[in-house]
Chains A and B, each alone.
Chain A
Amino acid sequence: MSLVQKTVNNLQVSHLQKRFRGQQGEVLALSDINLSIRTGEFVSIVGSSGCGKSTLLRIIAGLERDFEGEALLDKERISGPGTDRGVVFQEHRLFPWLSVHDNVAFGVAPDAPAEIRRSVQEHIELVGLAGFEKAYPHQLSGGMAQRASIARALVNRPKVLLLDEPFGALDALTKIQMQQEILRIWEAEQTTMIMVTHDIDEAVYLGDRVVVMSNRPGTIKRIIPVELPRPRDRGSFDFTRKRNEVYQEFFDSVESNPEYVI
């Protein structure tokens, strides 16, 4: 991390409200969301299914435009998708007809300067897929495909990387590996990262802060700072205590001395 930490408020969400209107009526998905995220921060957003966390992420990504309230990135209104925000979804969503290289390069304009073209190769290497540039998605394992997806999202050097349950579809071991990978990438790129997850351990392991969201309508219940030094030890007392703090927002009783922690 750079020595001079920019404490500029990168992303500012104020009084955000989102309604979904259907034939049977209306649902208030998000209600009065207020959030400030600093440049270079890693923020985890945790909540159960249906709490609107994905909707919040999609609004920041620019995929949902019809909302009340304000979302600002570096003081500019977010009104649609843009190269300043990269998105990684739960499915890798790579184009099956393109090789890894072409998928990662998808967002790069053909007349882009050589500097950006180099960025494609750099990011393929950054995510650990060097040598697989010519492989097609069907030849990749789940973890590898998700890495390619991350590279694709980072190739335009966005200010913010938005991750919507990116490791939810992976097996438990690959998931842990990918969590370590995303931290490595975060430290190398210093991009602001916002990750939505329903895995509390993942949220605490990765985030500088954990935003706890509640259901119906989605609101921010609490923002819990995780001021633990990195790399974090999932088995340490401090980690467990912080994890329990988040856990208690969702469940009434928690064993105070767990036998093991993954």
Chain B
Amino acid sequence: MDVAEEEIVAIVGPEPDRSRGARGSFLLVPRCWQGAIVPLLLLIAWEILSAGGILPANWLPAPSEIVRTLVDLAKGGELFRHIGVTLARITAGFTIGATAATVLGGVAGSSALFRRLFDPLLQSLRSIPSMAWVPLFLLWLGIHETSKIALIAVGVFFPVYLNLLSGILQVDRKLLEVGQIFKLTRVQQLRRVILPAALPAYLVGLRSGLGLGWMFVVAAEIMGASKGLGFLMIDGQMTGRASIIMASIILFALFGKLTDKAIDRAGRHFLRYQNF
């Protein structure tokens, strides 16, 4: 009997999407751009309402005004300095927090004793709301870079630690037995079976951690900075310029999304064996 024949079907993959309008329909807009329709309409409505004076300019400036503000900031080079500083903080904080979480998560995953001793403590620290750390770190570490990066690192730490630990503990025992059959040492078992199996959970942890890191960077920069997007936002508030506040918010959203996408892309490369 020919093995390959009927089993090819298993490889071909799901059927192509033949639902109506797969090649682009709704108002002649192709599928991939259809998500932009509603936001675009809202933007247009917003611009019109602002131009007509219905939306007060000092509360909610028109989109065109926000764009003008961004361009002005960019012209002076100021914008890039602020973006650069915030990105640098996030990168440093993320690296430190994620590394610490990876090491501790790995140890906790391997050692039941370590878990019993340290996990309850870490879990209770996790429940402290992000903003509550700010005054403490400002007091201990001052208002310069150290406190900000430490804050971000703390924010990043917990999701990464938790997800990695959970991923390791949930590795299918049946796969571990295969490792035993081939007489893998504990280290080999960790490297060749446990960590690859925990990778999907770990990547979820990294993305969550990054998201929380962004949240902490806003908190850190609001509480005392002279540079950065958060500072820009506060500066806008102090000088009563709503357009600057809006511009910062948009930039936060943009870079938050971009960094998240970067991790997602990297993750997809490592997880290309999955079926989703």
Contacts and interface: CB of A to CB of B under 8 A. Distances in A.
* 6 closest cross-chain pairs (CB), A and B: A138-B275, A107-B182, A141-B10, A128-B3, A136-B273, A97-B196
Given A63-B180, A83-B183, A95-B196, A138 B274 contact: yes
Nearest to A145: B10
Contact of A63 (B10, B177, B193): B177
18 contacts: A61-B181, A63-B177, A63-B180, A81-B182, A93-B175, A95-B193, A96-B274, A97-B197, A97-B273, A99-B273, A106-B178, A106-B182, A107-B182, A128-B3, A129-B3, A137-B273, A140-B10, A141-B7
B174 interface: yes
B1 interface: yes
A117 B230 CA distance: 58
Given A63-B180, A83-B183, A95-B193, A143 B7 contact: yes
A244 to B, nearest CB: 28
B274 A87 contact: no
Contacts of B4: 131
**Which of A86, A107, A129 gathers the greatest number of chain B CB atoms within 10 Å?**
A107
A73 B180 CA distance: 19
Contacts of B177: 63, 89, 93
A8 interface: no
A83 to B, nearest CB: 7
Interface string B1-14: 10110010011000
Nearest to A149: B178
A91 interface: yes
A168 interface: no
A128 B11 CA distance: 16
B274 A89 contact: no
A147 to B, nearest CB: 8
B181 A81 contact: yes
Interface of B: 1, 3-4, 7, 10-11, 174-175, 177-178, 180-183, 192-193, 196-197, 199, 273-275
B189 to A, nearest CB: 12
Nearest to A141: B10
A144 interface: yes
A131 B8 CA distance: 11
Interface in A87-137: 87, 89, 91, 93, 95-99, 106-107, 128-129, 131, 135-137
Contacts of A138: 273-275
B273 A93 contact: no
Contacts of A62: 181
A177 interface: yes
Given A81-B183, A82-B183, A106-B182, A97 B10 contact: no
B177 to A, nearest CB: 6
A96 B193 CA distance: 10
Nearest to B177: A63
A63 B178 CA distance: 10
A138 B180 CA distance: 23
Contacts of B182: 81, 83, 106-107
B181 to A, nearest CB: 5
Given A95-B175, A138-B273, A143-B7, A81 B196 contact: no
Contact of B174 (A83, A91, A97): A91
Interface string A70-88: 0000000000111100110
A101 to B, nearest CB: 13
A144 B1 contact: no
B188 to A, nearest CB: 10
Contacts of B273: 96-99, 136-138
